[in-house]
A and B are shown apart, each in its own frame.
Chain A
Amino acid sequence: MAGIVELATGLITGNVLAATGVAIAVVVAGLSSAKGLEISGSTAAAVTGEKEENFSNALVLEALPQTQCVYGFIVGVLITLGIMSGNMTLEKGLIGLAAGITVGITGISAISQGKVASAAIGATTKNPKISGKVLIFIVMPEIAALFGFVTAVLLLVSGKVF
């Protein structure tokens, strides 16, 4: 038992923790964006299929759940830069992990955003004049992801991770 604990403790290095943070940031935010885009994209494709002139409006609204994936990717790259610098202590690794979790979990808002985008695309199809107004509704779930992203970057900066 003591051997296993020793082995596990030996495995938990700054690099391992930081790499876990990268994985969470990129995978969770990426998966959520993919699901959000599946929802909004399905609606966008269907309304374009019904009426070609819906394409331009649908495209703008459909693409918004993509941003969470970008946030996850940026945070992932920043942590990776820290790993590449070779100065990843256990403390810095933990900060990297926290940043990854923050941006990854808040990135789940992409799924809700996809649903809002889908409803907005439907509403715009019926009344094209409201395309600017519905954009505000779609941006709302983005705020959670944005807060997560800013917090994660601040964590990385204050912890001098990269």
Chain B
Amino acid sequence: MNFSIFGSEGSYAHAFGIISGKQSKLFDFRVFESLINAKSVSEVIASLEGTEYDLDMREVISAKINIKNLENALNKNFLRNCNEIFSVLPKGDAEALSFIVFEELNLRKLISIIRRLHSNLKETRDERHFFIPYIKAEIDYDKIFSEISDETQERVEKFISKIYGTKYYFALRNKIEDYKKLGNTMPLECELIKKFTKDAETIAKKKGSQGLREFLSIKIDIINLKTLLRGKLNAIPYEDFLLPNGLYLKEKELRLLLKSDVENFSKILEFSPYSISVNEAILAYKRERSLLNLEISLDKLMYHIIKEKAMLTPLSIYSILSFIAEKEREIKNLQLIFHFKECGLTAQDIRETISMLQ
């Protein structure tokens, strides 16, 4: 008898139960609409009474109602939800998954900050990509920002020198010259992502299940697609930034894509589930020449793949990832609502920004 049938389904079934319960509590558009229409931050907080966020909001009220405390409370809620799910998984998968989920969030935050410094963005709506829950950041971003006020490239360089001692420092330091030469943050970002995927692969190989390794391969495919499209559309040399071990995009496919124009990408990718979404991503980029739009399209693709796999195999890592993506989106929207309410933006403006990011 194959004893794998007596494997870890029990743990995943437990996690699936927790997720199903939590998914039924996620906010639908009606709740968001009422939050968007609230007159002030205090009214938004009051509307969250009796919801998942009740406890977190009470903590904020008992301390001080400001954006930083609210963001911390939402991050805490996200962390609590994730840890509750991870705690019932087999140990290896829990460790690998918590690294992948939390580290990716930290990395996305770090990348958004590097971009912000590079473009010298002020506190405006353009800062929307800044709203990402982050977990175990070793970096005091507020302190660093208060000390940086130079010109564009020096700002980024100074920021990197300020994070000396963290695990990101050497990866970024090695690519400063490339960044300066290109005048684009892509080398810095790709180096961080490369380090992340390498670490994630090592952990998944050592401790994770087959499902986790497959997820990582899909992730590598999406990262490579982002790099390829970004590089092609911005005419940046990017060959060195491509990652090995993708699920569909192996060396042969990557070589084909490298030689091809972006218009032919969807044809080359016909054998994979990425074909249609790649076209959409290119169109989204071309509409506003916006890198953010391109990334949102490809993140959406990743989300759809995860959701589809979660539907086909509910007792798998994909159900967990699908919930985490939904929860992250909910928290991001709440952060946006709080921030824009504080800035005094109209309900219509908030609605538009949120729908654009969906």
Q: Which residue of B lies closest to A124 (CB)?
A: B20
A29 to B16 Cα, complex, angstroms:
25
Bitwise interface map of A from 39 to 75 toward B, beta carbon under 8 Å scored 1, else 0: 1111111110111001000000000000000000000
Query: Which chain A residues border B9 with CB–CB below 8 Å?
Result: 35, 38-39, 111, 114-115
With A38-B13, A43-B20, A47-B21 as known contacts, state yes or no: A119 contacts B314, CB within 8 Å: yes
With A35-B5, A39-B315 as known contacts, state yes or no: A118 contacts B21, CB within 8 Å: no
Q: Which residue of A lies closest to B19 (CB)?
A: A122
Interface bracket on B? 20 to 34
Contact of A111 among B5, B16, B24, B88 (CB under 8 A): B5
Contact of B10 among A39, A44, A50, A122 (CB under 8 A): A39
Are A50 and B13 in touch, CB under 8 angstroms? no
A35 to B10 Cα, complex, angstroms:
8
Asked whether B195 is an interface residue with its Cβ less than 8 Å from the other chain, the reply is: no
A41 to B25 Cα, complex, angstroms:
21
Query: Which chain A residues border B21 with CB–CB below 8 Å?
Result: 46-47, 49-51, 54, 125
With A43-B13, A115-B315, A118-B314 as known contacts, state yes or no: A125 contacts B6, CB within 8 Å: no
Asked whether A152 is an interface residue with its Cβ less than 8 Å from the other chain, the reply is: no
A108 to B16 Cα, complex, angstroms:
22
Given contacts A38-B13, A50-B17, 10 further A-B contacts (CB under 8 A): A35-B10, A42-B13, A42-B17, A43-B13, A46-B14, A46-B21, A51-B21, A54-B21, A111-B9, A115-B9
A35 to B3 Cα, complex, angstroms:
12
Please provide the chain B residues from 251 to 296 with a CB less than 8 Å away from any CB of chain A in the complex: none
Interface bracket on A? 20 to 34
Asked whether A126 is an interface residue with its Cβ less than 8 Å from the other chain, the reply is: yes
- Nearest chain A CB to B9's CB is how many angstroms away? 5
With A118-B314, A118-B315, A122-B314 as known contacts, state yes or no: A39 contacts B22, CB within 8 Å: no
Asked whether B18 is an interface residue with its Cβ less than 8 Å from the other chain, the reply is: yes
Asked whether A121 is an interface residue with its Cβ less than 8 Å from the other chain, the reply is: yes
Are A44 and B17 in touch, CB under 8 angstroms? yes
Are A119 and B315 in touch, CB under 8 angstroms? yes
Binding site for A on B (CB under 8 A): 5-6, 9-11, 13-25, 88, 314-315, 319
With A111-B5, A125-B20 as known contacts, state yes or no: A118 contacts B13, CB within 8 Å: yes
Query: Which chain B residues border A121 with CB–CB below 8 Å?
Result: 17, 20
Are A51 and B25 in touch, CB under 8 angstroms? yes
25 A-B contact pairs sorted by A residue (CB < 8 Å) = A35-B5, A35-B6, A35-B9, A38-B10, A39-B315, A40-B13, A42-B11, A42-B13, A43-B17, A44-B17, A46-B16, A46-B17, A47-B21, A49-B21, A54-B21, A108-B5, A118-B315, A119-B16, A121-B20, A122-B17, A122-B19, A122-B20, A125-B21, A125-B23, A126-B20
- Nearest chain B CB to A47's CB is how many angstroms away? 5
Contact of A49 among B10, B16, B18, B23 (CB under 8 A): B18
Q: Which residue of B lies closest to A128 (CB)?
A: B24
Query: Which chain A residues border B14 with CB–CB below 8 Å?
Result: 42-43, 45-46
A41 to B22 Cα, complex, angstroms:
17
A-B pairs, 3 with minimum CB distance: A50-B21, A46-B17, A43-B17
Query: Which chain B residues border A51 with CB–CB below 8 Å?
Result: 21, 24-25
Most buried by A among B10, B20, B314: B20
- Nearest chain A CB to B318's CB is how many angstroms away? 13
Bitwise interface map of A from 99 to 128 toward B, beta carbon under 8 Å scored 1, else 0: 000000000100100110011011101100
Bitwise interface map of A from 11 to 41 toward B, beta carbon under 8 Å scored 1, else 0: 0000000000000000000000001001111
Query: Which chain A residues border B319 with CB–CB below 8 Å?
Result: 122
With A50-B18, A118-B315, A119-B314 as known contacts, state yes or no: A39 contacts B24, CB within 8 Å: no
